[in-house]
Each structure stands twice: as C-alpha cells, then as structure tokens.
Structure 1
Amino acid sequence: MFNDTPANYIKNKKLEKAAELLLISDERITDIAFQCGFNELATFTKSFSDKYNMTPSHYRQKVRG
C-alpha cells in the first residue's frame, strides 16, 4: 500500500516528526531525537541527513531563516 517496508515507513514518520519539532521547538536536538524514538544521536543524525540532505542543526537554521 505504501510501497515501503513497515520499518522504513515508521522511521520516515519519526523523521518527519523530528523535522517538525526542529522548527517549532527550541529543545536540544538530542532531546528531539530521543522523543522521536531514536536511541542514539549518531543514528538520528545519519538517518535525518539521508532523508533531508542536511544535518538536523543545518535544517533548523536554514528553514527558520
């Protein structure tokens, strides 16, 4: 139905939530990663970079202006 594995679908939903929180929240990136279900910051940063082609901190800076 989604042309994706369940694990990838869930990971993408977590990353989308993290991207949203990066924009609306001033919380630390580590805290956002943990809130979204990532156990390690390195794993979160790698997954986020693969999806959005930039690190979470650059995403926050670029999109916020």
Structure 2
Amino acid sequence: MLMSNTDRPARLHYMANGFRVLAPGDHVVCAATGARVPLNDLRYWSVARQEAYATAQVASEALAPK
C-alpha cells in the first residue's frame, strides 16, 4: 500500500545551503511558533539547532542572543 505524504510532517537534516529529507512529508513545524511550514515555502532554519522557522522575523527573534 502506498502512503501519502499529505498532512504528514517531514523529518529533515538542515545544512548550510539546503536540507536533506530523512523522512518524507509535506511540511515541517516551526520551532518557535508551532506553525506548519510547507516544504516548498521553507526558507529559514538553524543548522546548529536543527530547527525550522516560519519567517525571517521569527528566525531572527529565536536566534537572537538573550
């Protein structure tokens, strides 16, 4: 039976210039807001933390020194 990747979170390995799909899915969850980010729209992540972010602003706030 074929499984659909729709409505399933992907598991990714984040690298400096992209990411590698470890487990297929159609989205990831933003580490800061919990928002769903479709893989086609994913532009912001932290290589060090291995986390995805929904927007540039969310990423900047999450990665800012405290």
Same-fold call, TM cutoff 0.5: no
TM-score bracket, normalised by the shorter chain, equals under 0.3
Larger strand share, 1 or 2: 2
Larger helix share, 1 or 2: 1
Which fold has the larger relative contact order, with Cα–Cα distance below 8 Å and residues 6 or more apart in sequence? Answer: 1
